Amino acid sequence: LVSSPQNTREGEASKCFLSISSPIMSGRRAKDSASSSELHSDEEYSWIPWFCSLKGNEFFCEVEDSYVQDSFNLTGLDSMIAYYDNALDLILDIESRDDMLSDDQQEMLENDAETLFGLIHARYIITSRGLQRMLVKYREKHFGVCPNVLCRDQAVLPIGLSDQLDEDSVKLYCPKCEDVFEPQKSRHEHIDGAFFGRTFPHLFFLTYPELKPKSLSDKYVPKVFGYRLHKDAYKKSLEAQEKAMKEKAKAKSLRR
């Protein structure tokens, strides 16, 4: 496991912050933490940039400490997080007020810190500062491109199909075909969609309307031997098939 950036800096942190892992991504805890340790072993990081630098967390932008420190921005989140106070202290690199937690409590704290940050992130990215930070990532295509070949590598944005935790994973929204897709990389499949929410991509293009591409006008047209299929072609084919099966069954019963 990777030592917390707080531990790296201070060298004598409480056991309750011995390590930080990323349970948001199922099955990558040890691997990602190890790679992060190798990459930043000689650098000092606060918790937020450290967390956002982990492989698999590319969709997140760094939330400013000043935003997290403003209790108004966190209204209602304390009722959703069991170790809210300790998790907030961890995110802000504040030394724990508890001397020690059990291993189970420590793991819950680490999970709560990541969940709390994700919920804060969903609120931050719909502020002017958050939109600006996501704009940089969008222009650099950090979120990937649309898998629809007719969109021709149109940049996409992360979106949640629900604002509630544990209901669905993050998806990718294409502003050209205006459809949503699963992330192309498996390490992003287990990020909670609530960490981005339903509003973000649409508010993004309302804020930066010059970046909204024209809706996709081209549409794939299925053809057989060069001829376009009639809109009822599949329906007619199914009806013919069912009719043939009924006649076959009837003929078989008459032979008996």
Higher pLDDT, 79 or 101: 79
pLDDT at residue 1, rounded to an integer: 38
pLDDT in tens, 97-114: 555 778 888 889 999 999
pLDDT higher than threshold 70 for residue 35:
no
Mean pLDDT of all residues belonging to the chain: 84
Q: What distance in Å separates the CA atoms of residue 89 and residue 48, rounded to the nearest whole number?
A: 12
What confidence score (pLDDT) does residue 105 get?
A: 85
pTM as predicted = 0.73
